[in-house]
Structure 1
Amino acid sequence: MLAYIFGVVLFALGICLSVALHEAGHMVTAKAFGMKVRRYFIGFGPKVFSFRRGETEYGLKWIPLGGFCDIAGMTALDEVTPDEAPRAMWRFKTWKRTVVMAAGSVTHFLLGFVVLYVLAVSMGLPNLAGTPQISAVQDCVRNAQTEEEFANPQCQPGDPAPAKQGGLLPGDKIISINGKSTPTYPDVTAAIQPLSGPVSFQVERDGRTIPLTIDVAQVDRPITDASNPQGHIVKVGSLGVGFARNFSYNAVTAFGGAGQFTADMFGQTWNRLLEFPERIPAVVHSIFGGERDPNTPVSVVGASRIGGEAVEQGLWSLFLLLLASLNFFVGVFNLLPLLPLDGGHIAVTWYERVRDWLRGLRGKAAGGPVDYTKLSAVTMVLVFIGGAVTLLTVTADIVNPIRLQ
């Protein structure tokens, strides 16, 4: 129980650190461009303490669920004093305002990369894509009555060794079987099971594609499924290989590994965002007693609970992976062109830039800053929707949380 509580608190602190660095990204870039930063606070609610250094007040508030960076003149509607007016943010060039607004999300991306780098050099990165890279080649394959016997055969003289005899080596990646592409190791398994005898393989080794012919053996294997929970024995084609579940790196190669993993997570994050609306009904269903789909969105509460369970079970790689994925999600989500997100402010900034460019082509003077009061209704609707979704996910994570098996 103590390990679980420690994990929850540690994950929550990780989130707080992420938010603090997000706001620090805005602050540092704003100061670098000469904008006036009035306040930088971590948390909301009543003030715990604060101090002033230069023209900026720094402080901590009681509720550690966010933070803010108060930059003078973020919009033309913000009140500024006469001495602040020349340094009001809205007066700066479009690209500078864009950099400041995007700096929060960029900070999340950098933090996610750092977490993945630490994971890569310490525990390795999980093979989430199911890349069919061979980690081990067995000395033989033989009939088995249990999964344990199938995975670890007790070899006898004369037993077939398809992978070993066919020339497969650890580190090889199986590209295709009999001309059919095999992008994942489940694809390799599905392709091999009905086969026997000589089979054509294409494998990637040290950047080169190598053709191999391997004599696939048919062996007995125990299969358990919904129709036969007690299990039954079937004949399947077998290679005698193990696939990498984790990729190991050193301090140098971890940069490339973490970079590739970051790119993959960006793609997964975007897909999750596209699927987000259609998964909300499942969240509502789970609140009223339905089974919780593990693919439904989770709140900070749910993520912290999962982080606690990961620590309790010693799954530190999952803990770090969850923290990195949360940073990528928040970073991408925050760049959506919707107010009051940073992406919404960036969209308005570039609308002004394009509008003034078009006006210039027609010989007209630049227009004034966008009147944010005209966007207040849309902003409030989006805030209401965001609040409702947050309330739903928090409720689901309390009454019917996603749990590690």
Structure 2
Amino acid sequence: MLVYILGVALFALGICVSVALHEAGHMVAAKSFGMKVRRYFVGFGPTVFSFRRGETEYGLKWIPLGGFCDIAGMTALDEVTPDEAPRAMWRFKTWKRTVVLAAGSFTHFVLGFVVLYVMAVSMGLPNISDKPVVNEVSDCVRSATTAQAWNDPTCRPADPAPAKDAGLRSGDEVVAVGGTPTETWQDLLGAVQKAEGPTEVRVLRDGEALTLTVDVAKVTRPTPEGGTQEVGAIGASQAFMLPYGAGEAFGGSAAFTGELMVMTWERLLEFPEKIPAVVEAIFGGERDPETPVSVVGASRIGGEAVEQGLWEVFFLLLASLNFFVGIFNLLPLLPLDGGHIAVTWYERVRDWIRKLRGKAAGGPVDYTKLSAITSVVMVIGGAIVLLTVTADIVNPIRLIQQ
């Protein structure tokens, strides 16, 4: 239980650090362009402590569930003092305001990449593309007519060990079996199961191409229907985590970041249709592991991952959360940063069209006219947060179903 609590605390701390860096991204970008940053605080509620350095007040508040960066004149409605007016954010060029507004999400993307890079060099990255990379080489392959016999790892003296005898090693990437290219592990299984006897197997080992001769054994295996079948076997398991060196980890982490961001966007598109399942889970229905989770639920899963020693799950969840928050925050909805970016570019396009028509610039958008839309978005967002938090308390998603 103590390890679980530690895991929850660590994940919650990771979220707090992410949010603090999000606001720091806004602050650094704003200061670099000469905008005035009044305050930068981590957390909400009563102030624990604060100090002033230059023109900015920095501090920590008691409730560590967010933070804020107070930039003078973020909108034309913000009150500014006479000395702040020339440096009000809304007076700056569109691209500079866009960079400042997007800096928070960009920080999440960078942080997610850093987490993945640390994973890549320490424990590897998930093999989500089904690469035919070997994890372990078995001491033998054997026939089995039942599921119970199939799950028995005991080797007998006469059992062959094709992969081991041929010199196949952990980390080898099998690129061809018997002349048939194997782009995925499923391709490898299909080629091996059709083979028999001495078979040429081409592998990549530390970047070097090698050709091995594997004496593929024919064994009896149980089928899902309850029968048996004769298939080729070599005795090797797939690597579900792909290791990287310090140098190649940059490319591997970048590629995995792209794949994870695409998956995150797809999950975000599916988000609305998953809400009814969350409501059902609150009232006793089975919790779908694909349903959205709150910070509470993510922290609980992080705690379970640490308790079970699954640090790869912990870090992958932390990286995924950063990508989700970064992408979500760029949606063109107020009060999200993406909503402010949309308004900024609306002003730019509107003024460009007015200029073509010989008219003067229209001036900053009146945010009071958007307050109704903003309120609706906040109410819907608050309702979703309440639903997911409730579900994560009464019917949480677990790594191992109990």
Please state which band the TM-score falls in when normalised by the shorter chain.
0.7 to 0.9
* Paired residues for 1:318-333 under 5 Å: 318-333=313-328
1:255 partnered with 2:250: yes
* In structure 2, C-alpha distance between the alignment counterparts of 1:24 and 1:90, rounded to whole Å: 19
Report the alpha carbon displacement of residue 337 of structure 1 after superposing the two structures with TM: 1.3
1:156 to 155, 158, 172: 158
Q: Is the 8 A contact 1:141 1:155 kept in 2?
A: no
Q: Is the 8 A contact 2:162 2:214 kept in 1?
A: no
Q: Deviations over 1:165-224 (max 9, x none)?
A: 6x97765545688999865424644x358735489999674789999998864422345x
Change (3 A) 1:244 1:70: same
Residue of structure 1 in register with 2:56 after alignment: 56
Q: Which runs of 5+ in 1 are unaligned?
A: none
* In structure 2, C-alpha distance between the alignment counterparts of 1:155 and 1:75, rounded to whole Å: 78
Aligned to 2:194, the other structure's residue is in SS state coil
1:274 partnered with 2:269: yes
Aligned length: 396
State the identity %.
68
Report the alpha carbon displacement of residue 362 of structure 1 after superposing the two structures with TM: 2.3
Q: Deviations over 1:337-358 (max 9, x none)?
A: 1111111111111111122222
Report the alpha carbon displacement of residue 304 of structure 1 after superposing the two structures with TM: 0.4
Q: Is the 8 A contact 2:180 2:191 kept in 1?
A: no
* In structure 2, C-alpha distance between the alignment counterparts of 1:361 and 1:199, rounded to whole Å: 76
Aligned to 2:255, the other structure's residue is in SS state helix
1:342 to 337, 340, 348: 337
Residue of structure 1 in register with 2:149 after alignment: 146
Report the alpha carbon displacement of residue 85 of structure 1 after superposing the two structures with TM: 0.7
Q: Is the 8 A contact 2:73 2:80 kept in 1?
A: yes
* In structure 2, C-alpha distance between the alignment counterparts of 1:92 and 1:99, rounded to whole Å: 11
Q: Is the 8 A contact 1:218 1:238 kept in 2?
A: yes
Residue of structure 2 in register with 1:120 after alignment: 120
Q: Deviations over 1:275-318 (max 9, x none)?
A: 11111111111111111111111000000001111111111221
Change (3 A) 1:155 1:130: farther
* Paired residues for 1:37-52 under 5 Å: 37-52=37-52
Report the alpha carbon displacement of residue 380 of structure 1 after superposing the two structures with TM: 1.1
Aligned to 1:146, the other structure's residue is in SS state helix
Change (3 A) 1:178 1:75: farther
Aligned to 1:359, the other structure's residue is in SS state helix
Q: Deviations over 1:210-250 (max 9, x none)?
A: 99998864422345x6x87xxx7554443432211211223
Tell me the amino acid that sits aligned with residue 111 of structure 2.
L
Residue of structure 1 in register with 2:372 after alignment: 377
Report the alpha carbon displacement of residue 258 of structure 1 after superposing the two structures with TM: 1.7
The range that moved more, 247-256 or 31-40, is: 247-256
1:220 partnered with 2:220: yes
Tell me the amino acid that sits aligned with residue 283 of structure 1.
V
Change (3 A) 1:55 1:400: same
* In structure 2, C-alpha distance between the alignment counterparts of 1:213 and 1:389, rounded to whole Å: 58
Tell me the amino acid that sits aligned with residue 60 of structure 2.
L
Q: Deviations over 1:75-111 (max 9, x none)?
A: 1111111111100000001111111011111111111
* In structure 1, C-alpha distance between the alignment counterparts of 2:364 and 2:284, rounded to whole Å: 50
Q: Is the 8 A contact 1:172 1:203 kept in 2?
A: no
1:395 partnered with 2:397: no
Residue of structure 1 in register with 2:84 after alignment: 84
2:285 to 265, 285, 290: 290
Change (3 A) 1:276 1:153: farther
Tell me the amino acid that sits aligned with residue 375 of structure 1.
L
Report the alpha carbon displacement of residue 259 of structure 1 after superposing the two structures with TM: 1.7
* In structure 1, C-alpha distance between the alignment counterparts of 2:67 and 2:76, rounded to whole Å: 22
Q: Is the 8 A contact 1:202 1:209 kept in 2?
A: no
* In structure 2, C-alpha distance between the alignment counterparts of 1:156 and 1:345, rounded to whole Å: 71
